[in-house]
Amino acid sequence: MIKIVTLKLKQIRKRKRLTQIEFANLLGVSQCYVTLLESGKRTPSMSMLEQFSEKLGIPIEKLLSKPPKRN
């Protein structure tokens, strides 16, 4: 589940065409934390995910759900 969340955060950042620094500023965290999240070395807490969801304007369910399989 955590890998899904960190992968989605990276996808969202890239879709918005933001650097890690810009994304970190948007989320209110350090660029180092974004790097650790994207590499899977850090796990965001549920409260942190709620904050990310709110700041990104994305339902938390979307961050936690598996992406649809491609055929």
In tens, the pLDDT along 46-67 reads: 999 999 999 999 999 888 887 6
Q: What is the DSSP string of 3-66?
A: HHHHHHHHHHHHHTT--HHHHHHHHTS-HHHHHHHHTTS----HHHHHHHHHHHT--HHHHHSP
pLDDT classification of 1: cutoffs 50, 70, 90: low
Which amino acid type is present at position 49? L
Q: Which domains does the chain have, with CATH numbers?
A: 2-63 (1.10.260.40)
